């Protein structure tokens, strides 16, 4: 477990309906981390949680390219400058890709991004159970990632993610995005 000093009620996402898991309600994407190494066991647990996600035909199209201490600066260079500025203090960075072809028949997998999103969220939720925070970023250098990590043509680069221990003092100064109401996202017919 890693230290998590944030009060679960700090977020304007509250109130939520009774019954919603407090870890889901308090999840947010910080832009302030304290530099702290994660154990190999912690990293394995995070990605094993992602591995458990559901997928179409059990294809499991997600791929994760994760930094190590020696490659962290390389991964930092894959982020646009505004993201690299705050992500430099994360414990690790990783890139999420989706294999867009089914392995069993070579046909296009239109669900690969959706399934990869389920895997990423499984990892994000697992991180919260361990006192860690995640922040997914679309502001990345796609071409640089493809070249630097030798991403095959069958994989789409989706995003990069920072993982780490939140900087409690800085987090108190962050503006937290509110969630839309149920009426805005749910249509029952």
Any idea what the CATH number is for the domain that residue 106 is in? 3.40.109.10
Indicate whether 10 belongs to any domain: no
Predicted model pTM: 0.93
Quote the domain boundaries for residue 141. Answer: 22-185
Mean pLDDT in residue range 172-186: 83
E-assigned strand segments in 82-167: 92-99, 133-137, 155-166
What would the pLDDT profile of 75-115 be if each residue is shown by its tens digit?
A: 999 999 999 999 999 999 999 999 999 999 999 999 999 99
The per-residue pLDDT for 6 is 66
Reported confidence tier of residue 178, pLDDT bands at 50, 70, 90: confident
Q: Is 80 part of any domain? A: yes
Provide the token pair at 59: 């294809």
> Does the residue 43 lie in any domain?
yes
Tokens, residue 143: 């071409």
Question: How many domains does the structure of the chain reveal?
Answer: 1
**Considering the domain boundaries, does residue 42 fall inside one?**
yes
pLDDT tens sequence across 17-73: 888 888 888 788 999 999 999 999 999 999 999 999 999 999 999 999 999 999 999
Residue 174: partners with Cβ closer than 8 Å, 6 or more residues away: 30, 31, 32
In a domain, 92, yes or no: yes
């Amino acid at each position: 477990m890693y230290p998590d000093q944030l009060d679960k009620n700090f977020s304007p996402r509250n109130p939520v309906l009774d019954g919603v898991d407090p870890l889901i309600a308090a999840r947010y994407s910080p832009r302030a981390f304290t530099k702290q190494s994660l154990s190999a066991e912690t990293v394995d647990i995070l990605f094993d949680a992602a591995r458990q996600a559901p997928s179409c035909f059990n294809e499991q199209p997600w791929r994760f390219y994760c930094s190590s201490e020696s490659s962290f600066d390389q991964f930092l260079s894959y982020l646009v400058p505004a993201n690299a500025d705050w992500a430099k203090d994360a414990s690790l960075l990783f890139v999420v890709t989706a294999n867009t072809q089914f392995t069993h028949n070579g046909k296009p997998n239109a669900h690969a991004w959706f399934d990869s999103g389920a895997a990423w969220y499984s990892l994000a939720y697992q991180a919260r159970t361990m006192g860690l925070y995640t922040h997914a970023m679309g502001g990345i250098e796609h071409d640089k990632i493809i070249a630097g990590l030798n991403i095959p043509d069958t994989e789409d680069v989706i995003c990069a993610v920072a993982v780490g221990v939140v900087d409690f003092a800085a987090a108190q100064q962050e503006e937290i995005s509110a969630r839309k109401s149920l009426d805005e996202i749910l249509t029952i017919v």
